[in-house]
Amino acid sequence: MFHITYFNLLHALCFSACLAHSFEYYVSTIGSDGNTGTAAAPFRTLSRAQNEVRGKLPSQTSNIYVYVEDGVYELDSPLNLTARDSGQNGFKVIWQAKGTLVNVSGGNQITNWTMYNKTAGIYQATVPKNSISRHLYANQVHAQRARATLTRSWLSATTSGYLVVNSAANYLLSLPGIEHGEIRGINSFTDRYIPVDSVSDGVILMKQPAYQNNIIGYDTITVPAADEGFYIENVLALLDEPNEFYLNSSTNTVYYIPPVGLDPNDMYIVLPKNEQVLVFSGTLDEPVHDIMFVGFNFMHTTWNYPSGDVGYADQQTGAFIGLNESYTIFESSRPFWWQVPGSIQMSAAHDIVIQNGSMVAIMGGFGIGNDPNAHTSGVGLGANNITISGIYFTQTGHNCITVGGVQADAHHPSDSRMLNSNIMISENIFSNTQITYTSGVPIFVSYATNAQIIHNDISVVPYSGICYGFGWGSNDAGGSEEYLLRGLYNYQPIYTTPTTLTDGLISNNLIHDYGLRHTDLGGIYTLSKSPNTFITENYAYSDNGYGTNCKYPSRRHYIRVLKLIFN
């Protein structure tokens, strides 16, 4: 395997080599966007450098470099790169961090905390007007929304919500602010959220279609295959533990209990405002291409979609029922599942490299060639020759890297340009990830050709380590007898040709301390056919007690994974 010093060496070598090139712009937190962008007069913002680079691209005759000095760059909106920002004439645009502390933030630091409730240890602070966020980051750690633990037997599911059947839960019926709350259920392989609508006649009424879509299918919130936690969240009256918070958007106030012995005025606390920090948004006719980012640290995003009427009807590894309509027949929803969006997105893109740096204290990771619903541009898929290498991931909210979509164009493209291919995921470190949605994974490849996952270190994760393939065989050539019986093919074709998942390599990865919160999982979990794909020389182990439910490998003790081919 590798060491973090390897990243620093690459960083130093790349930086020293870059200095010899003439097309250079500089960005610094002490610069000004009225400057000329030289080393002596740097720009202040990344977007100002972006505009300057665009003017040089039509006549580009060598690589163009944007050197960014150490500092925190708080973005008002994501840095959005299109075909207009692409390298031209065979050259690249290289965004290069000059130090190791170039931090790109999608949030605002929150300061000037005052005591709100001394007995409870609750502080309050004013946040920017109209702030909406499901996240708060305190010293680069996810804060937990205010919550209380429930026992599932205290509540009885009705057609519209939960009937309180145990006096231990009677307090919910008069809980102030419960109309802003959510019921959360962590199950065998799902992590589900349903917003509360109101309370009436002893019933906690839930928002629709979130409730209906969360009680159909498998491993549901009302009939879980395993009970790994049941909560009421996002209610100020439940704020009672260190590192919990509550955001009141109507009063522009955030409430927080710091860890014992800490004053929030001495902490680095950030409320995210953006859902993305970096977007590569091409089109099939005009893809974005030939761009590198080296040495950047990306942080501080949120994802607010589950706060609406749809909630989060989780189906596994970031696929969820996302349409604002109620399904009564579960299989009718399967062809139309949505995906959790990445904080860094790439679609209709080729020859993109993100190298070294980190993703820390952030909601989503990389979304590479996902379905259109998971891209801010509305254009999905079509990611080719993408490299993610040397990145340190920790305190992410969901999947760290998601490659491919789950809908039809991902596995059987209607346009050949939609194909995701030649994806390299190498020499990354993942540790203590999937904080908000524990059913996510460090690396998930659904449908892609020639995806290589090599030399990665994965540890301390709640679910599986690497998930490869999707569909449970339902989209493979000839279909699946099981899904014929379930009625899926009343809503989608039985495909006669293979999916795009082929020619993969999963090799020399270390996966340990996985499955810490869920069951029905694997160090390496495969879910469909993938011709000419090899899984070889990986090392996976975990002593969490759930290993006997693993798809692959299938034992708790140390496992040396040798050559295996999926046909």
CB-CB contact of 255 with 246 (8 Å)? yes
CB atoms within 10 A of CB 407: 24
Residue 359 CA to residue 391 CA, distance in Å, equals 7
pLDDT digits (tens, 9 = 90+) for 525-548: 999 999 999 999 999 998 765 443
Q: Which of 81, 301, 75 is nearest to 66 (CA)?
A: 81
Distance from C-alpha of 319 to C-alpha of 334, rounded to nearest angstrom: 10
How far, in Å, CA of 182 to CA of 234, rounded? Answer: 6
Provide the residue-wise pLDDT of the chain in tens; the chain has 567 residues. Answer: 333 443 444 444 444 444 444 589 999 999 999 999 999 999 999 999 999 999 999 999 999 999 999 999 999 999 999 999 999 999 999 999 999 999 999 999 999 999 999 999 999 999 999 999 999 999 999 999 999 999 999 999 999 999 999 999 999 999 999 999 999 999 999 999 999 999 999 999 999 999 999 999 999 999 999 999 999 999 999 999 999 999 999 999 999 999 999 999 999 999 999 999 999 999 999 999 999 999 999 999 999 999 999 999 999 999 999 999 999 999 999 999 999 999 999 999 999 999 999 999 999 999 999 999 999 999 999 999 999 999 999 999 999 999 999 999 999 999 999 999 999 999 999 999 999 999 999 999 999 999 999 999 999 999 999 999 999 999 999 999 999 999 999 999 999 999 999 999 999 999 999 999 999 999 999 999 999 999 999 999 987 654 433 333 332 223 333 334 444
Q: Measured between alpha carbons, how far is 244 from 256 in angstroms, rounded to an integer?
A: 6
Q: At CA 468, angle to CA 467 and CA 472, rounded to 5?
A: 95
pLDDT of residue 542: 84
Where are any strands of DSSP class E within 43-201? 64-68, 71-74, 79-81, 93-97, 102-105, 107-109, 114-117, 122-126, 137-138, 141-142, 144-145, 147-149, 155-157, 161-164, 182-186, 191-200
What are residue 337's DSSP bridge partners? none
All structural domains of the chain with their residue ranges: 98-106+274-303+340-566, 121-258
Q: What is the pLDDT of residue 23?
A: 87
What are the residues facing 426 on neighbouring strands?
389, 454
Minimal CA–CA distance to 297: which of 53, 97, 545, 452?
97
Q: Regarding beta strands 358-362 and 297-299, do their DSSP bridges make them parallel or antiparallel, or are they unpaired?
A: parallel
Q: Which long-range contacts (CB under 8 A, 24 or more apart) does 478-483 make?
A: 483/331
Q: What angle do CA 306, 140, 435 make, to 5 degrees?
A: 40
- Coarse DSSP helix, strand, coil percentages of the chain, rounded to the nearest 5 percent: 15, 35, 50
Distances (CA, A) of 554 to 208, 314, 525: 39, 24, 10
Give how far Cα 351 sits from Cα of 10, 93, 354, 421, Å.
19, 11, 10, 11
Instruction: Work out the number of other CB atoms within 10 angstroms of the CB of residue 487.
Output: 12
